[in-house]
Structure 1
Amino acid sequence: MRSTSIALAVLASSSSAYASPIEALNELHSRDTLASSDPYYPSPWMDPQANGWEDAYAKAKAFVAQLTLAEKVNLTTGVGWEGEQCVGNVGSIPRLGVRTLCMQDAPVGVRFGDYVSVFTSGQTAAATWDRGLIYRRGRGIGEEHKGKGINVVLGPVAGPLGRIPEGGRNWEGFSPDPVLTGVGMAQTVTGIQDAGVVACAKHFIGNEQEHFRQVGESQGRGFNITGTLSSNIDDKTMHELYLWPFADAVRAGVGSVMCSYNQINNSHACQNSKILNNLLKDELGFQGFVMSDWQAQHSGASSAVAGLDMTMPGDTEFNTGLSYWGTNLTLAVLNGTVPQYRVDDMAIRIIASLYKTGQNPTDLPPINFDSWTKNTYGYLHAAVNSGYQQVNWHVDVRANHASIIRETAAKGTVLLKNTGSLPLNKPKFVAVIGEDAGPNPAGPNGCDNRGCDQGTLGMAWGSGTADFPYLVTPDSALQAQALKDNTRYESVLSNYQWSATQGLISQANVTAIVFANADSGEGFIDVDGNAGDRKNLTLWKNGDDLIKNVSSICPNTIVVIHSTGPVLVTDWYNNPNITAILWAGIPGQESGNSITDVLYGKTSPGRSPFTWGATRESYGTDIMYNATNGTTPQQDFSEGVFIDYRYFDKANTPLIYEFGYGLTYTTFEYSNIQVQKTNAGAYKPTTGQTIAAPTFGTVDTDLSHYLFPADVSPVWQYIYPFVNSTDPAVASKDPSYGQSPAQFLPPKATDATAQPLLRSAGKSNPGGNRQLYDVLYHVTADIKNTGSVTADEVPQLYVSLGGPDDPKVQLRDFDRIRIDPGKTATFRGTITRRDLSNWDVVQQDWVVSSYPKKVYVGQSSRKLDLVADLN
């Protein structure tokens, strides 16, 4: 993969000609570059001995051996947009009693479902820094999908990682730190799959902004681009930053990975053999199946040999009835373009993922909801109003998940400032100010896919949404608390009713709580000029001015921010009349109860999962908002691994609150760091070979056996694996059919021989070389609660790798520990070989450099009181 040296040189030579580094970056983004992605073939096949997959493989092998070629193709190809009840379905196998498999969006709950919960965003869950709570959130999401008859949960999210703070879908993921995101991915994958459904880690990879992710979407906004944005990422950055959390998901046994819309080094993610065959399936040893994002497939045979296993939603474009696979994949196998082992491997990966999560493909519970209607009866094939029947059984799957949501949202709220006004204790008079405290006049689900910013921000917008069963607003919850406390309570639920607000907050004894927000989401929706990505880092609807105006009058002003990432607080955070600031993220359905729990000291708050910069420019990255017509937009990730706190530390740009920062209602003292080296052996590169590519069953080459069955009535626009003629040229609509069919594919694309194992790969160990995860050091430290309140502390372990091109410090471990007043607890952290390694682009392996290394333990990335050498 290409080096960043070209991009860095262009940026360095251009910087003096521009008013800011951001302008230089935008100029860099506007040009065409020579970024390229090396070919890597053949596509690796499943390993029968892969750790954690052995039983699933054996069962899947026996099952797939029974299938005809058409049945295998049916498993790989979606039936078309709105073809059946879920956002994505593949074809069924009626002969064996296998119904269509159901894929459904999931970052905060079951999209389009009724009687489902709305969980916190992944970003808010990350702010808890609580592994167990993140697992329970994932388990709850998985249980609700399982209860609706869904087979594959489209989450969790590590792409976007959060390279750019304005990124529209950052809230769906966890954190711009790869370790915190990796923990979030692993815990969520485990939770979802323990519930009995397949998790799908997405979007793989470099999917860091919404602008220019799709050509059609961009052209609809006046940008006549010819190709989707290319994220140009060098090999070292790819491994040390963006691939890291996906490795954790693979190691946790994730059953599916979704490839993204963007290109990586000018090759579409869903046909990029470098990232799918080399990085994901070979180096990381991923054993599950790769699914395309919706309409992210751009070729047929090419994407098959490049590592794609399932195409979603199946049609080339929504509701065309055309598919790159389906009939075309059947023909490609029959004419020898795509080898049998490749389609066999697609099928076995899909079926093995079901078995791994306890799903029997011949005995799947029915799908009991419908994505396209909340009515009991509707069309099974909604795209064409065909098959009127019962499609929704209104099954309530919420269980006790409200308590998990409330706890996660509260523990994921970050207390940024507190000069003594919190926690509240039966205050005399509370005045709540701001639209963000109240309801949407159209109801919590009044905007399609939450594509608006009305009322309190409980959920951002896009495909990562779910329908609220209810939404507890901050106004309603705080009023309920006030009634219990006999507190006087009034609210003005508008950002623009200044006369009423001024009259209220000017009164004696008032505690003013101002609510403001900043929203974002997926690129197919534009809210007030924010085309998915935020167009700035300020609060929406005059929120900053509202805070300034209230605090200019009220000496006890508390600010609560709901947002999808950092906002600029520089102009007002240090005002002495602002006595407290809280970031409450994207909290989900229990929003009001959660913020009340923190404001009144019932729950300990969390820590920031990102850095709060003083200016927009201080982050060093920005959205590429413009592109030249007739081009493929080029976005060079020229900052390398230096994003968020790593960049702030390197460039010494101004910040307000650092990564990992957060206050509690007590104080803690750190002491007595101890480091114990283990007797882990030396690192040994992996050697040996794979087995040769296996095939399961035989392929019947008689084209007449693939004609559309006489007993099946075709549904318009529905994607099938069958042909309509025994003349292959007619069936394929290709007069040159059968003439040297495989010549256009790259060398080794159809190679079925045993392949050498990569030195960095794990031999039957998903996640990479097993020795990367050897623990090299145990680290302990004492933490004493020196205050008067029982509270949770979040000790954080960072390392310095010591090299001139390494970040100053990098997070490597953490915990969340509850400590009583006057008591001392012991933090126990570990440092693995991977934690101390760099990616060597020459050896193509992880290496521990000779530079001196240190370990730090403290309360945030900038408050690291304890330090020790690693010898």
Structure 2
Amino acid sequence: MTTPAPTPAPQDQIAAQVAQLLAELTLAEKVEMMSGKGFFEALAQDDRVWGARPYRAGGGNERLGLSPLWFTDGPRGVTRGNSTCFPCTMARGATFDVDLEWRVGQVMGIEARAQGCNFSGAVCINLLRHPAWGRAQETYGEDPHHLGVMGAAMGTGIQAHNIIATVKHFALNSMENARFKVNVTADERALHEVYLPHFKHCLDAGIASVMTAYNKVNGEFCGQDRALLTDILRGEWGFTGFVHSDWVRGVHQVYGAAAGLDIENPEPLIFGEHLIAAVEAGTIEPAVIDRAVTRILTTQLTFAARQDPLPAYGPELIACEAHRALALEAAEKCAVLLENDGTLPLRAPHKVAVLGRLAALENTGDNGSSRVRAPYVVTALQGMRAALGDEAILHADESDLDAATAAAAAADVALVVVGYTAKEEGEYIMGDIALGADQKKVPGRPSLSPTPIGGDRDSLSLPADQVALIHAAAASGTPVVVAIVAGSAVLVEEWRAAANAILFSFYAGMEGGTALARLVLGAVNPSGKLPFTVARDAAHYPYFDRDADAITYDLWHGYTKLERDGVMPRYAFGHGLSYTRFTYAALTARAAPDGIAVQVAVTNAGDVAGAEVVQCYVGAPGIAAEQPKKLLRAFDRVELAPGETRIVRLHVPYDSLRWRDPAAHGWRLEDGVYRVVVGGASDAGLETGVRVSARG
């Protein structure tokens, strides 16, 4: 009896298919797969509207029937058509809700598929080093662990619907105006402990592609940096997917291909005929081209071989009722209650003064590459009117402070909406950086402007007229609730004493106004937690120069810097109040075989249901090398009914406690007693200790 030959594993079949395709492709066809194509022509045809169509971003061969990579951006929703607009990424970071982010990722995958795309740039996980960074709203926060967990949830959610996700921008991209020129210097510890671990977390979770950053790292542009793209990404981490550049100026020399860049986007400005010539001249090995094409094809064919979860991805799924409901859920969960003297929730108010220009403005965030043109946007003013009726709402703004004071005096409470727009923070749109977009003035399109739009903030404070508006409202004697719309930390020292409650509502997406009304009226209990630190003084943050040619990034920023310096924040990382009260008890931590096992009892001690984000911070002994006093190493969001107690278990892998030894170019686990702190914010909680041995 003859034993049948074993059926090849799917990956073996794909490898054989790739080898056959490589043999059939010419050098010119292979190099053509290593760049985008048609972007400039498409942009001109679309009147320079970003995202008007899918962009060809590499791959594809018509002769052999191979599909290109069709790209869409989307940190807060698919940037095509009239897609669902979610709260900005930073807002969703404030939810600390991994399941929610996974579901949001799925919606982005579904809506990308429904609009002809197979490649998504929605996963942005650059670390928030300083709140002035103009594109802070596109990432999740200042903590590497939190960034990795949330980014992995988003990316795997997108890929659940067989859209290839890319994680960006690799690496150390944390400033906007100078992004094309700045050289970021970081030593080995800062690089591996602070600025890279979240990328590894996402790639270990299965995200299939990486987008490089514009900036330099230690003297070399990221898109042609062998240390990043080959030594670390491939050699140390074992990444097997493909790497592509950011749009325009993402690579400067043809040797970027040999350094590990597989695709130049959006056009072959450096690759293309120059890369063919380099191969023919012998300065680039043919194996470099085959390696890149193998990565591209293997990734595409792997995704193409998977079964789709849905039977079809029709246009009726775009911004459908279920997706809009998810946008509302995210907006409700992201809001962070910073302060409250009992004014919130509002109890059956007869009149509410909704104050501020931003209250009546559709303001979902940046107008650059992350812009989503939702089918509608509910403003704060519309949300309050829908909840209470037109007759219950008074409106005035900072253009007439006397009218604002009068409106507040005639109301039971004043809701003052303050913060920023795409003019003050966001992607920097100016000159040829915008591909000439600033030369064409189009009414109603604020991102096309002869003057700079967006970019890094020049101040961490509110505009002076908004501060005056808050004080004008307070002068009426009516309680004042301030809602902050922004992408990262805003200093509050000059006006917080005038406010009875402060709510950080972020750029909250298409359902932001509905969510705000439900939050302040008590239909929803605020549960967001700050994904960044709000300082008392701008000087407490690291040095920041938005026009820098060079900058050094070290181990310290955010809560790690303030704790090292012995400085109290105004609001700590992880801070967020509720309409109920949570207590913690019975904390235990033990050294298990693969990490620290943590257990704590959390009780809702109030009379309304609520959600608490249980945060676990771990502090190393710090004897072998200086380390932060503590770092977030695990978290879990739990829903609790009034009076309910739940035992929460958290796991901290030993690998996450290692520090990078620059002498050995490797990781070390320090022996000793580790502090374990568990609570509802980084500055509060129960504490215990556990002894960890590097020898097991």
Q: TM-score, normalised by structure 2?
A: 0.88
Amino acid at match of 1:177: D
Aligned residues: 646
- Deviation string for 1:594-635 (max 9, x for gaps)? 11222122333210100111111111332x1345xxxxx111
Which of these residues, 385, 394, 414, is aligned with residue 512 of structure 1? Answer: 414
- Quickly say closer, same or farther: Cα 1:778–1:552, change in 2 above 3 A: same
Alignment of 1:353-364 (within 5 A): 353-358=299-304
The alignment partner of 1:812 has SS state of strand
Question: How do 1:64-83 residues align onto structure 2 when only pairs under 5 Å count?
Answer: 64-83=22-41
Counterparts of 2:564 and 2:575, CA distance in 1: 18
**Match of 1:669, SS?**
strand
Could you tell me whether the CA contact under 8 Å between 1:108 and 1:464 is conserved in 2?
yes
Residue 155 of structure 1, CA deviation? 2.5
State yes or no: 1:521 paired with 2:426: yes
CA distance in 1 between partners of 2:14 and 2:579 (Å): 49
Residue type at the aligned position of 1:489: A
Indicate conservation of the 8 Å contact 1:291/1:308, yes or no.
yes
Give the aligned partner of residue 437 of structure 2. Answer: none
Deviation of residue 531 (structure 1)? 5.0
Structure with higher Rg: it is 1
Which residue of structure 1 lines up, in the alignment, with residue 83 of structure 2? Answer: 116
Q: Equivalent residue for 1:301?
A: 254
- Which aligned pairs between 1:808-827 and structure 2 lie closer than 5 A? 808-827=629-648
Alignment-derived partner of residue 339 in structure 1: 285
Residues 267, 607 of structure 1: alpha-carbon distance in 2 compared, 3 angstrom cutoff: same
Task: Pick the structure with more helix per residue.
Answer: 2
d(CA) in 1 for partners of 2:161, 2:642: 38
Alignment partners' CA distance in 2, 1:341 and 1:642: 41
Match of 2:132 in 1: 166
User: Given the alignment, which residue of 555, 559, 576 partners 2:478?
Assistant: 555
Give the aligned residue type for 1:861: S
Aligned-residue offset at 1:163? 0.6
Measured in 2, the distance between the counterparts of 1:790 and 1:56 equals 51
* Distance in 2, Cα, partners of 1:482 & 1:273: 59
What is the distance in 1 between the residues matched to 2:150 and 2:339? 26
Instruction: Find out whether 1:475 has 2:398 as its counterpart.
Output: no
How many angstroms does 1:543 deviate by? 1.4
CA gap of 1:836–1:100, structure 2 versus 1, over 3 A, is closer
Q: Quote how far apart the aligned CAs of 1:826 are.
A: 1.1
Deviation at 1:500, TM superposition (A): 1.7
Shift of residue 89, structure 1, vs aligned partner: 3.4
- Once the two structures are superposed, residues 351-397 of structure 1 have per-residue CA deviations (whole angstroms, 9 ceiling, x without a partner) of 22223334689x9xxxx9xxxxxxxxxxxxxxxxxxxxxxxx97762
Does residue 230 in structure 1 map to residue 152 in structure 2?
A: no
Offset at residue 678 of structure 1 (A): 1.9
- In the other structure, the counterpart of 1:539 is 462
Aligned equivalent of 1:187 = 153
What residue is the counterpart of 1:565 in the other structure? 488
* 1:156–1:188 contact (8 Å) kept in structure 2: yes
**Whole-angstrom distance in 2 between the partners of 1:56 and 1:673:** 50
Cα gap change, 1:856 to 1:654, in 2 (>3 Å):
closer
2:416 match: secondary structure: strand
Match of 2:542 in 1: 620
Measured in 1, the distance between the counterparts of 2:22 and 2:464 equals 56
User: Is residue 292 from structure 1 mapped to residue 245 from structure 2 by the alignment?
Assistant: yes
- Cα distance, 1:146 vs structure 2: 1.3
Say if 1:190 and 1:828 are closer, same or farther in 2 by CA, change over 3 A: same
CA shift, 1:827, in A, is 1.1
Task: Summarize the alignment of residues 5-154 of structure 1 with structure 2, pairs less than 5 Å apart.
Answer: 57=15, 59-84=17-42, 85-90=53-58, 92-111=60-79, 113-154=80-121
83 and 360 in structure 1: CA distance in 2 versus 1, 3 angstrom threshold: farther
Q: Which amino acid aligns with 1:506?
A: A
The gaps in structure 1 that reach 5 residues or longer are 1-50, 215-227, 317-323, 369-392, 439-454, 628-632, 680-774
CA RMSD of aligned residues (A): 2.4
Encode CA deviations 1:308-348: one digit per residue, 9 max, x unaligned: 000001243xxxxxxx2222222333343222222111112
Match in the other structure for 2:394: 491
Report deviation, 1:80: 4.5
Q: State the AA in 2 paired with 1:344.
A: D
1:798 paired residue among 593, 596, 617: 617
Which one-letter code corresponds to 1:419 in the other structure?
A: D
Query: How far apart in 1 are the matches of 2:226 and 2:316?
Result: 42
TM-score in terms of structure 1 length: 0.71
Which secondary structure does the structure 2 equivalent of 1:542 belong to? helix
Q: Residue type matched to 1:806 in 2?
A: Q
- The answer (yes or no) to whether the contact 2:617–2:634 under 8 Å persists in 1 is yes
CA 1:415–1:61: 2 relative to 1, 3 Å: farther
**Does the Cα contact within 8 Å between 2:611 and 2:638 map onto a contact in 1?**
yes
- Find the residue that maps to 2:327 and give its secondary structure: helix
In structure 2, C-alpha distance between the alignment counterparts of 1:89 and 1:477, rounded to whole Å:
40
Work out the CA distance in 1 between the residues paired with 2:477 and 2:244. Answer: 54
Q: 2:590 aligns with which of 652, 663, 676?
A: 676
1:837 to 632, 646, 658: 658
CA distance in 2, matches of 1:132, 1:602: 22
- Per-residue CA deviations over 1:29-49 (Å, capped at 9, x if unaligned) read xxxxxxxxxxxxxxxxxxxxx
| CA offset digits 1:407-448 (Å, max 9, x no partner) | 11110100011111112232122111111111xxxxxxxxxx
SS state of the match for residue 357, structure 1? helix
SS of equivalent residue, structure 1 residue 662: coil
**What is the SS of the residue equivalent to 2:275?**
helix
1:252-331 matched pairs, under 5 angstroms: 252-316=205-269, 324-331=270-277
Letter paired with 2:286? Q
Amino acid at match of 1:356: T
Indicate the residue corresponding to 1:658 in structure 2.
572
Matched position secondary structure for 2:66? coil
Query: Given that residues 94 and 336 in structure 2 are in contact (C-alpha distance below 8 angstroms), is that contact kept between their aligned partners in structure 1?
Result: yes
Distance 1:297 1:490 in 2: 50
Whichever residue aligns with residue 408 of structure 2, its letter is I
Residue 184 of structure 1, CA deviation: 1.2
Determine the C-alpha separation between the residues in 2 that align with 1:358 and 1:529. 42
CA deviation profile, 1:692-744 (whole Å, cap 9, x unmatched): xxxxxxxxxxxxxxxxxxxxxxxxxxxxxxxxxxxxxxxxxxxxxxxxxxxxx
Structure 1 residue identity aligned to 2:271: W
Structure 2: runs of 5 or more not aligned? 1-8, 43-52, 431-446
Displacement of 1:61: 4.1
1:407 alignment partner, one of 296, 312, 329: 329
Alignment counterpart, residue 605 of structure 2, candidates 778, 786, 789: 786
| 1:466 aligned partner, one-letter code | V
Structure number with higher strand proportion? 2
Amino acid at match of 1:535: D
Per the alignment, do residues 56 and 678 of structure 1 end up closer, same or farther by CA in structure 2, a change over 3 Å counting? farther
User: In the alignment, is the contact (CA less than 8 A) between 1:615 and 1:654 conserved in 2?
Assistant: no
Query: 1:156 aligned to 2:77?
Result: no
Does the Cα contact within 8 Å between 2:354 and 2:415 map onto a contact in 1? yes
Shift of 1:490: 2.3
State the alpha-carbon separation in 1 of the partners of residues 605 and 144 from structure 2: 32
How far, CA to CA, are the matches of 1:569 and 1:55 in structure 2?
59
CA contact (8 A) 2:224 2:256 kept: yes
Cα pair distance change 1:189/1:396, threshold 3 Å: closer
Give the structure 1 partner of residue 164 of structure 2. Answer: 198
The structure, 1 or 2, with the larger RCO (C-alpha pairs under 8 Å, 6+ apart) is: 1
Aligned residues of 2:83 and 2:375 also touching (Cα < 8 A): yes
Deviates more, 1:301-310 or 1:851-860: 851-860
SS in 2 for 1:331: helix
Shift of 1:66: 3.6
Residue 70 of structure 1, CA deviation: 2.4
Amino-acid identity (%) = 29
Q: Specify whether residues 626 and 107 from structure 1 end up closer, same or farther in structure 2 by C-alpha distance, changes over 3 A only.
A: closer
**One-letter amino acid matched to 1:516:** V
Indicate if the aligned counterparts of 2:251 and 2:264 stay in contact, CA closer than 8 A.
no
Counterpart in the other structure of 1:596: 517
Q: Distance in 1 between matches of 2:564 and 2:453?
A: 30
